[in-house]
Structure 1
Amino acid sequence: MGVLIAVAHGSREPRSSRTVGAVVDRVRVRRPDLDVRVAYLDLTEPSVEQVIDEVAADGHESAAFVPLLLGNAFHARVDLPGILDAARRRHPSLSLVQAEVLGDDSRLVDALRARILGAGVDMDDPTIGVAVAAVGSSREAANRRTRALAARVSAGTGWAGAVTCFATNRNPGPTEAISHLTAAGARRIVIAPWFIAPGLLTDRVRDEVDALDIDITHADVLGDHPFVADVVSARYDAAVGGSTTRARECVAGCTFPRTGGAGP
């Protein structure tokens, strides 16, 4: 049986680990042929190192790591590859492969739209303005890719508009994005979190916009939407299938194609 290790960022916020657990449970249902485990890069246990040691102790010969990350930033390009490289030195007979991040896969955009509609929004309501709330990046190329999510999620709708806003770099921040949407005619604003799990950043966005004098609806995070499990499964298959464009075996100093998108 193959081993799929879903790697999440980690958070001190208990809601985050509960949501990640629900995502992993969904993957287990989706892939009964795999031994699906979860590990965290920081702040939450079990750590990636602990799970690798357990996999080795259980006698497995290989494992594939799927980062539950929406952006290909430091954690995917530096942090996790370094952990896996150190683990290979501890377990030289264990084959460890890192899959591509979840990124801005079209299925996740569909999941985001489903979360918006699930908040009681009609596809053809011209009073709706959607603020896609993402973490933001220090790389402008990644932010441009994330900004494009708004147009993708609103395509084919009758909404007044959609804008991506950022919880960290404020370019634009949530308040600025809402001002843009109201100027476009929106009378009801939907905050659509481009996050796998809730945490301090989603709370920061909520606190900021709830202080505004406007009708605000909060959609759910991507969480355990079935499409998230579908993408995790696909990333695993690409990794173990040896696809050079979607996954590669990490060695010290390896890099990955930049897919942009938001953080966890």
Structure 2
Amino acid sequence: MTAPALVALAHGSRDRRHKATITQLVAQVRRLRPDLRVETAFLELSEPGFGEVVDGLVAVGVEEVVVVPLLLSEAYHAKVDVPAAVREAMARHDGLQVHASKVLGLEPAFLDVLDRRLREALSDARVRELDALVLAAAGSSDPLANQAVARLARVWGQHHHLPVTAAFASSAPPATGEAVRAFRAEGRRHVAVASMFLAPGFLPDRAKELALEAGAVAVSEPLGSDEVLAQAVLARYAVGAVELVPV
């Protein structure tokens, strides 16, 4: 039996760095599982779109697809956009089975990647002392998604024995600049910001700009392409592939 195809479905962005980063991440997935048919697709703003990718798979005889949403939160895109895209694809192709896995989410293992990115930023800025951290994420109108970021921030802070605040680039307070200023008002002068974003784009750029304006000593780059993330994609795929098997 042929294994289902894997479609890594990212949000998309007008920023070319976003697509380049997603492409690199999916290339890592392919290297880890060269036996799988692995494709990249985007919900909006970037090409190829999900429908185009599915059409191409069907044209070469693929009958089963597992979609892994490259999203870090269970918010609007995960709850509305991804299911709608799956339904539309199945409606256009009789006999095609498409299953969307859970999103990548905020796995504790991602904190290792976050730490590496932050160490790189601290090294570049020649910073050796920290007394507070800010975990910057996209933010959502869904309070549960924001609470998940806050929980991860607490875990991260406990690991480093430092105070940590979650901050958001949109939809929810505090913004990164507000979080940095709050720490500085407490007398903490060495505040670093870690970017819990998957890829570069407008929101991480804005979060970085506000943090530096407020006095952050360093701001890390987004998680980017990393084997830890590639392994997480394959773990989501494995569960999705099992769920496609008829009971």
Calculate the TM-score normalised by the size of structure 1.
Answer: 0.84
How far apart are residue 165 of structure 1 and its match? 0.5
Q: Give, in angstroms, the shift of residue 104 of structure 1.
A: 1.3
Q: Does 1:240 align with 2:247?
A: no
**Structure 2 vs 1, CA of residues 58 and 243 (structure 1 numbering), >3 Å: closer, same or farther?**
closer
What secondary structure sits across from 2:217 in the alignment?
strand
Alignment correspondent of 1:181: 183
Q: How does 1:44-123 map to 2 (within 5 A)?
A: 44-120=46-122
Long gaps (5+) in structure 1: 245-264
Which stretch of structure 1 is more off in the superposition, 68-77 or 127-136? 127-136
How far off is 1:188 after superposition?
2.2
Q: Percent identity?
A: 34
RMSD: 2.0
Paired position in structure 1 for 2:201: 199
| Displacement after TM superposition at 1:146 (Å) | 1.1
**8 Å CA contact 1:109, 1:152 repeated in 2:** no
CA distance in 1, matches of 2:216, 2:76: 36
- Structure 1 ranges of 4+ moved more than 3 A: 183-186
Shift of residue 243, structure 1, vs aligned partner = 8.7
* Higher-RCO chain (CA-CA 8 Å, sequence separation at least 6): 1
Distance in 2 (alpha carbons) for counterparts of 1:110 and 1:127:
18
Residue 169 to residue 193, structure 1, CA distance change in 2 (3 Å): same
State the 1:34 CA deviation.
0.9
Deviation readout 1:47-89 (Å, 9 max, x if unpaired): 0000000000011121110000011122211112112112112
Match in the other structure for 1:147: 150
In the alignment, which residue of structure 2 is the partner of 1:254? Answer: none
Picking from 168, 171, 174, the partner of 2:173 is 171
Query: Residues 186, 31 of structure 1: CA spacing in aligned structure 2 closer, same or farther, 3 A cutoff?
Result: farther
SS in structure 2 of the partner of residue 127 of structure 1:
coil
1:219 match: 220
Q: Show structure 2 runs of 5+ residues with no match.
A: none
| Equivalent position of 1:209 in the other structure | 211
Report the counterpart of residue 138 of structure 2 in structure 1: 135
Cα gap change, 1:85 to 1:153, in 2 (>3 Å)? same
Verify: 1:42 aligned to 2:8, yes or no: no
Distance 1:81 1:100 in 2: 11
**TM-score w.r.t. length of structure 2:** 0.89
Note closer, same or farther for the CA distance 1:184–1:117 as it changes in structure 2 (3 Å cut): farther
Paired residues of 1:110 and 1:153 also in contact (CA < 8 A): no
SS of residue in 1 equivalent to 2:243: coil
Q: Distance in 2 between matches of 1:89 and 1:158?
A: 52
Count of residue pairs brought into register by the alignment: 239
When structure 1 is superposed on structure 2, of 146-155 and 14-23 the one drifting more is: 146-155
